[in-house]
């Protein structure tokens, strides 16, 4: 598997990233993250678009965003397919015995309280009136690390062209 890390910088600060892996003609989306401070820029979507671009430029046959990308799939007009993980073991094999022991343990243990369907820490932060710091140390660290890496850099018009966007004020996303 050929791994790649896609980073999007805003004023020298990494604001989103995606980790992908190419194998057998398929690009797999493994993980995406973004800085909540830059959420309004849709930087998480840009990271996914960079992964899509890499798959196309690399001549890959398919991009599989796997199970954790339902939001992105729907946002970009893809088909969201509900899936389930299934494990098959030969009866009596060590993995089968281990799985049976795990099932028995889950049945005997009392049910744990259900976690809230939201992140209480994030909710508290969203409602806080604090001013975010300039993050100068993080910016300098990113500059130092990226200066030592062999990376493809796209910015300004080159990034817009790579993502298929028309210049500002001259239309919508190009077909």
Residue 174's pLDDT is: 32
* Residuewise pLDDT in 10s, the chain (175 residues): 999 888 888 887 888 888 899 999 999 988 888 887 777 788 878 888 888 888 888 899 888 887 666 776 777 777 777 777 678 889 999 989 999 999 999 889 877 776 665 566 656 655 555 566 677 888 888 888 888 887 777 777 877 777 776 544 443 333 3
Residue 136's pLDDT is: 82
**Distance (Å, rounded) from C-alpha 109 to C-alpha 1?**
39
Q: Tokens in use for 87?
A: 């494990």
Residue 130's pLDDT is: 58
Report in angstroms the alpha-carbon separations of 85 from 81, 95, 111, 169.
13, 16, 22, 46
**Distance (Å, rounded) from C-alpha 133 to C-alpha 172?**
34
Structural domains of the chain sorted by starting position, each given as residue range(s) with its CATH number in brackets: 2-163 (3.40.630)
Cα dihedral 13, 17, 21, 25 sign: negative
Contact yes or no for 10/42 (Cβ under 8 A)? no
Residue 170's pLDDT is: 41
**Distance (Å, rounded) from C-alpha 86 to C-alpha 59?**
31
**Distance (Å, rounded) from C-alpha 94 to C-alpha 72?**
39
Contact yes or no for 121/127 (Cβ under 8 A)? no
């Amino acid at each position: 598997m050929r791994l790649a890390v896609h980073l999007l910088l805003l004023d020298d600060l990494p604001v989103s990233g995606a980790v992908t892996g190419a194998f057998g003609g398929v690009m797999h989306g493994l993980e995406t993250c973004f800085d909540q401070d830059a959420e309004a820029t849709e930087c998480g979507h840009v990271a996914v678009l960079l992964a899509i671009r890499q798959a196309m430029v690399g001549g890959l046959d398919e991009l599989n965003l796997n199970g954790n990308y339902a939001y992105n799939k729907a946002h970009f007009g893809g088909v969201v397919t509900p899936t389930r993980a299934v494990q098959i073991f030969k009866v009596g094999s060590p993995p089968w015995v281990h799985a049976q022991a795990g099932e028995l343990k889950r049945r005997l243990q009392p049910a744990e309280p259900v976690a809230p369907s939201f992140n209480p820490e994030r909710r508290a932060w969203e409602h806080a009136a604090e001013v975010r710091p300039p993050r100068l140390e993080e910016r300098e660290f990113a500059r130092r690390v990226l200066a030592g890496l062999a990376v493809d850099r796209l910015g300004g018009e080159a990034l817009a062209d790579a993502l298929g966007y028309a210049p500002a004020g001259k239309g919508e996303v190009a077909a």
